[in-house]
Amino acid sequence: MQKLSKPTPAAVLHRLSLYHCLLTDWLLAGKKGAITSKELAGTLGLNEVTVRNDLSFLGETPGKRGVGYSIDGLRHMLGEFLGLPPFAPVAFVGSAKVISSLFSFFLVEKYGFISAAFFSEDPNDRGAVINGREVQPIEGISHELGAMGIEVAVVATHPSWVQHSINLLVAAGVKGILLLTPAVVIDAPEGVYVTQIRIPCDLKALFHRVSAVGQEV
């Protein structure tokens, strides 16, 4: 991972990740050549100035005035900036049913990730196989991940297992956790980055936006 010359705001980091995903989709669809900041902005519903400002965080980009950016070159630079190795290993924690459902639409290999390990809080999942790998009991996290050196994990357990899962992952050396859970209150030590997707909370925010349409807020 390259050293950053200036802190990257969370909103900028999120959009840079979106650009990387979009460019990946285009390359997989066979699109080659160059892309302009205007095209990037239009596709994602953003302002062209916003896109240019975001890309300035990369330093010198493979762009040419009047031509645009090399799709493959810009994707490569974004990947380096985001700290993505060629194939980034990720551990998944949650019941086999939930994780299997997740894999039905989230094709991890497509975006450059490796599903390196699976752990479940459900004892009935022992022996289950997801994406060619056997699901391990959740208590095996400390031993298994500690030996594998995995630093990023996705947690989609029952809310009552979330904190225990985080504790085990942190003890195994995980430093980045994506939580797919309605659990609101969690505890993670300093230096461990947690991103939460709380569907109930996000739905409430959407209801507010819908109810506020046409009203002064």
pLDDT value at residue 6:
64
Reported as half-sphere exposure (CB side, CA atoms, 13 A), residue 108 has a value of 20
Residue 8: closest CA among 59, 42, 61 = 59
59 conformational bin, left if phi > 0, alpha if psi -120 to 50, beta if neither? left
Q: For residue 3, is pLDDT > 50?
A: no
Residue 19: closest CA among 4, 32, 35 = 35
Question: Is the pTM of the predicted complex or chain greater than 0.85?
Answer: no
CATH code for the domain defined by 88-202: 3.40.50.720
pLDDT value at residue 204:
87
Question: Mean pLDDT, to the nearest integer, of 199-216?
Answer: 77
pLDDT value at residue 62:
64
Residue 98 and residue 70 in contact, taking contact as beta carbons nearer than 8 Å: no
Quick: pLDDT tens for 81-140: 998 877 889 999 999 999 998 887 776 777 778 889 999 999 999 889 998 899 999 999
**Average pLDDT score, the chain:** 87
Q: 3-state class of 166 per DSSP?
A: helix
Question: Mean pLDDT, to the nearest integer, of 183-206?
Answer: 86
Q: For residue 217, is pLDDT > 70?
A: no
CATH code for the domain defined by 10-81: 1.10.10.10
Q: For residue 189, is pLDDT > 60?
A: yes
Estimate to the nearest angstrom the gap between the alpha carbon of 86 and the chain centroid.
15
The torsion angles phi and psi of 65, rounded to 5 degrees, stand at -60, 130
Q: For residue 141, is pLDDT > 90?
A: yes
Domain definitions of the chain by residue range: 10-81, 88-202
pLDDT value at residue 32:
86
